[in-house]
């Protein structure tokens, strides 16, 4: 009986080693692949100002998906660089796109194409704009941008006297912000107030990237831990068998 038991334990040990090896290999693929996927899709940035409070604060580390400026929609928070606005990368919210007519305020709300926009991302009690915005027609392939901190944001309203009514070209877009990585506030809420004007952007693949990394890490750790645990359990089993035989 002891010989049969020994062969059975040995077979189980080999099978377990094979499975643990496969788990580690698959885990490595998912873990490293997730990081590579994330590096291709996303670029981290540090926000320099308080213009997007309360959504994003100065010093927050954000993840912006690398997408073409042509894919940007109303409500998106974008990273961009506009030479006439300064030399650094900026973060603002798109409230109107080429062909839209934007103004403020009607009943205290921003209007786009005559429709009042609900903006739950603004601080409680904050007006949609601290000063009156004249009716602006957004030129083709350009974006009208506002900060979520409307009283102090140097956004399109501060550049209305410039060419193109303070709008920014879609080609200036570097990425669309999907999440705040640090502090870990998670994914940005979807700007549902713009849905009445058409479709809004869907989140990028960040959740799938993180899932691949987490599952990969679990498989690697679990597979690596199997060997020591299985060896220890087999030793305990043999010790008990020997003690039972001696008695």
Catalytic residue list? 51, 92
Residues in the chain, total: 247
Closest CA to 122 of 139, 142, 137, 105: 105
133-137 and 142-146 strand pairing: unpaired
How many other CB atoms are found less than 10 A from the CB of residue 38? 18
């Amino acid at each position: 009986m002891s010989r049969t038991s020994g062969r059975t334990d040995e077979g189980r040990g080999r099978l377990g080693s094979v499975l643990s090896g496969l788990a580690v290999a698959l885990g490595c693929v998912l873990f490293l692949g997730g990081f590579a996927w994330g590096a291709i899709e996303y670029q981290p940035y540090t926000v320099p100002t308080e213009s997007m409070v309360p959504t994003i604060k100065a010093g927050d580390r954000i993840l912006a998906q690398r997408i073409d400026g042509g894919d940007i929609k109303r409500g998106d928070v974008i990273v961009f660089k506009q030479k006439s606005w300064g030399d650094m990368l900026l973060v603002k919210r798109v409230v109107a796109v080429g062909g839209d007519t934007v103004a403020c305020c009607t009943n205290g709300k921003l209007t786009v194409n005559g429709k009042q926009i609900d903006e739950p991302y603004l601080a409680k009690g904050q007006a949609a704009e601290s000063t009156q915005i004249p009716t602006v027609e957004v030129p083709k392939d350009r974006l009208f941008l506002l900060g979520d901190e409307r009283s102090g944001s140097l956004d399109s309203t501060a550049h209305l006297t410039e060419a193109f009514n303070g709008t920014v070209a879609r080609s200036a877009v570097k990425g669309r912000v999907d999440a705040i990585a640090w502090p870990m506030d998670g994914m940005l809420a979807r700007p549902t107030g713009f849905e009445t004007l058409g479709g809004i952007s869907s989140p990028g693949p960040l959740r799938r990237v993180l899932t691949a990394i987490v599952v990969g890490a679990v498989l690697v750790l679990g597979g690596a831990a199997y060997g020591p645990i299985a060896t220890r359990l087999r030793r305990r089993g043999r010790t008990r068998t020997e003690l039972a035989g001696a008695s």
